[in-house]
Structure 1
């Protein structure tokens, strides 16, 4: 490696080190908290063991459909047609990889490689991932607003401290500085290419419907998994309240760079459920059931599909 290549790669390595450090730290804190609250987790697991099997099957079916909806949204973000079977397999593999690497890097890497194997350039593949992520964020925000209006008093919005405000405004400040820097012309050309790709996708009604419909169904189905689990363990919360709590907790947990939200999402969900009136063991059983259906049961099959896609050179 030349000195110039080493210098260019150094910031990437530093970011990877910090992300790994943050991920390991959050996971260790989660393990310590689990050890401290082991009696509550044990009682939650026992409650889950005698839960309603019918509702758990409903949650499992909703989990399977999330991969189909993720495939639909990804196709909607790309103008050219993608192979349907391999696309669904890639989403299944990406969900498994997302629980191995921090902050969504696994899913992003799998999908980026898949799109490039389908003939997209690296820039267009990255744009497609960005379009899908932006649609997902906008859909989640709209759902939170609608459900908050439908269920007033369920979601308590805390006062924003200066540090939290700086985190939210940070990306906008960085973008403004980049546009004003010597890199501004290059950034503006990149943004123009992104806008062109977005217009091309939305010029096709079928693609736009797939993008927004798939993103909406994906968020609703994940909320539906948690609703099914809460019904299975007889947690006394209305489905709309559970959906609102899930969307808010998962959005907050996304700010912490852990693999698949491990630790951060669990804590946020448990805190949200208990704050809404659920007992500690009921909240723990609901979170454990949600994680069982969405993470632990599909993890090994997802990794096997990932290996199969790599061997078939689909990634």
Structure 2
């Protein structure tokens, strides 16, 4: 290099500026959902293949009805999200964000993916972080309460619908469930008590959440969207299962399928699995067999349900998620 003329010495490569890296990050994030789908398809390809083969011999009209109720199932969470905030959100962007959140929800456990997408959406609409987090907490609290209320209504309306002696968990399972609920309620309190720096943010969050909850429950439209959407969501999910079962010849009525789904999802819905896949499926197959459904038919129904509600919307949802990231909506 010292022997070369000064005008022939190559100039050092310009360092990548932070602005260029910031422009590259959204592109990488927009491709990430597609990469996750490819990885998941490679791991779970057998389920996808078996479900598609089963649905190939099913009644297409019932499958079309199942797809219709699946689409309504994206509208109900959007109503609940709107009901958890006093501010009015853009309806179409809200619906698109929930459609995209559904794709993220099937990748990460315990609804972390859906909450992350929704949090980014709310922050992009100018909602402060504390109030956005409070709305997510209210959303997470209302949904299981509403589902349990619907389940109790079914218990009162159809007391002899299910043979409870076959599906009620034993004492050990009840103790484990009670221990899990107790730990979930006391652990945050103990953590805040033991770590003083967390007390002030925790108290601020609780005050914000209570203030918004009181304000929302003075607005009839928000109450209807919040509680009505939360109550309708499990009914729509059960209706999708009933439609898939009808296409395969499942010998169960809509009320029986709905009761079985409510019982299964209420019992093991708190298990942190991606999209509830796994624990809810096993519990639902167990409750369906309690009605006399053959195990193979119950399993085929659940596989078809997952194909329609997970795999069919997954690629469009990932594309919508990528588009929202690219347009900086998220």
TM-score (norm 1): 0.81
**2:298 matched residue in structure 1:** 283
Q: What's the offset of the Cα at 1:45?
A: 6.5
Q: What's the offset of the Cα at 1:48?
A: 3.6
How far apart are the structure 2 equivalents of 1:98 and 1:208? 25
How far apart are the structure 2 equivalents of 1:151 and 1:49? 34
**2:170 matched residue in structure 1:** 159
**2:186 matched residue in structure 1:** 173
Q: Deviations over 1:149-197 (max 9, x none)?
A: 3333514321342333211211222244356554556533432221101
CA contact (8 A) 1:56 1:229 kept: yes
User: Which segment is superposed worse, 111-120 or 209-218?
Assistant: 209-218
Tell me, yes or no, if structure 1 residue 216 matches structure 2 residue 231: yes
CA contact (8 A) 1:227 1:242 kept: yes
Aligned-residue RMSD, C-alpha: 2.4
How far apart are the structure 2 equivalents of 1:280 and 1:64? 28
Tell me, yes or no, if structure 1 residue 142 matches structure 2 residue 153: no
Q: What's the offset of the Cα at 1:127?
A: 0.7
SS of the residue corresponding to residue 259 of structure 1 reads coil
Tell me, yes or no, if structure 1 residue 231 matches structure 2 residue 253: no
Unaligned runs of 5+ in 1: 1-26, 36-40
Tell me, yes or no, if structure 1 residue 82 matches structure 2 residue 97: no
Q: What's the offset of the Cα at 1:271?
A: 1.9
How far apart are the structure 2 equivalents of 1:229 and 1:237? 11
Tell me, yes or no, if structure 1 residue 67 matches structure 2 residue 74: yes
CA contact (8 A) 2:54 2:304 kept: no
How far apart are the structure 2 equivalents of 1:131 and 1:268? 27
Tell me, yes or no, if structure 1 residue 123 matches structure 2 residue 130: yes
Q: Give matches, 1:1-315, under 5 Å.
A: 48-153=55-160, 154=162, 155=164, 156-161=167-172, 162-178=175-191, 181=194, 182=196, 184=199, 186-315=201-330
How far apart are the structure 2 equivalents of 1:188 and 1:144? 33
Unaligned runs of 5+ in 2: 1-39
CA contact (8 A) 1:75 1:82 kept: yes
How far apart are the structure 1 equivalents of 2:224 and 2:177? 34
SS of the residue corresponding to residue 255 of structure 1 reads coil
CA contact (8 A) 1:103 1:254 kept: no
How far apart are the structure 2 equivalents of 1:159 and 1:211? 34
CA contact (8 A) 2:73 2:236 kept: yes
**2:25 matched residue in structure 1:** none
Structure having the higher Rg: 2
| Runs of 4+ with >4 A deviation | 44-47, 178-186
- The alignment covers a number of residue pairs equal to 279
How far apart are the structure 1 equivalents of 2:203 and 2:214? 16
How far apart are the structure 2 equivalents of 1:133 and 1:187? 17
Q: Deviations over 1:31-82 (max 9, x none)?
A: 7xx89xxxxx96x875543222211111100000111111111111111110
CA contact (8 A) 1:151 1:241 kept: no
Q: What's the offset of the Cα at 1:262?
A: 2.5
User: Which segment is superposed worse, 157-166 or 76-85?
Assistant: 157-166
How far apart are the structure 1 equivalents of 2:327 and 2:186? 43
CA contact (8 A) 2:134 2:205 kept: no
